[in-house]
Structure 1
């Protein structure tokens, strides 16, 4: 089955050059779901079709990336391309493991014994690289899981990735209850990322 990135790339390759420029302009200013942020203008203007497909999936995940691309195309009047991409997105959303579109919170949080670790440990690399909203998560963990010194140490880092790496060093001393709290904070503030990882 083709991946979301491939569907997006195929769609962008069908655009004329002026349509592709318009698409990038609209994408930069398009209203996004909570938890997602626009691709910076300086980066967006230099991306070709292949790189932009990668960037959309990196920033918005495959499911929402396809939906977002289709929304922009519809706004441009490119209905045929948009509908084709929407159909691909709908098909992908129904094809989770064993045909399940979603998994329960209890399954994810308690996925420990059978699959070799808590959800937040299993998906460490993806979470470090792809979490976009961290500040409210740290605020929720402060006092419950993180002490003030740990909180300040994390916040002192310049990028979200570096902050997540520090957070994971403190996680070594957490029990499963603490990890569950972290997962629920992730689910609240980065819902689409958690949903995608649950399906993987």
Structure 2
């Protein structure tokens, strides 16, 4: 069953209140001393749906849920408060919140480590950018399905273990994939056939050329891998280095492999 929007969630909750409890709710909403305050003219004589709009416009969607639950408990509507559960957050929202919680220094480290992964994120996409912009770039590169896993890995790499654990816990609550949730059934073609690729891909340089052009690897990585003496050594460096970065990178490599080594690709696909 599709999840309800926050507005619908609030509307259903207020509709379930008796007229007496709805009046109490409105009274306590006006009586709140914390900012932002709600003006009397926006509440008195208004219908339940109007109050939902007031709550969301005043406190934002997420804040409105918390305020509503707080008031429900104050007026003794605990059962209604218990059923008022906020819909799970999206991967983008969780990532944004996680990046926003970092200190300025750790956010700089995060951006630097993100670039060091060399799996498609370009310097001009993240350098000097806000946490919101970085979050959007990461989602475009890694997709919403994998972005939280990557963020968790980077947080651990920059010694933000607590933030990594909090992100994993929030992802679990929201029903999103955590870093250890990937199953063996989802093993990528590159991981599944890595040994064969290392042994059987003979013409590595054209593949490196295309990976460099696609921005998957940087010139320094290209030079290091090219300097390896044998094709097996080149492929080993590629498989155990850049191709470990993400499934997106592996997908790009796979497309190149299909074009460069069609017979090998077809043979491995049959296994």
The TM-score, its normalising length taken from structure 1, stands at: 0.47
Which structure: larger Rg? 2
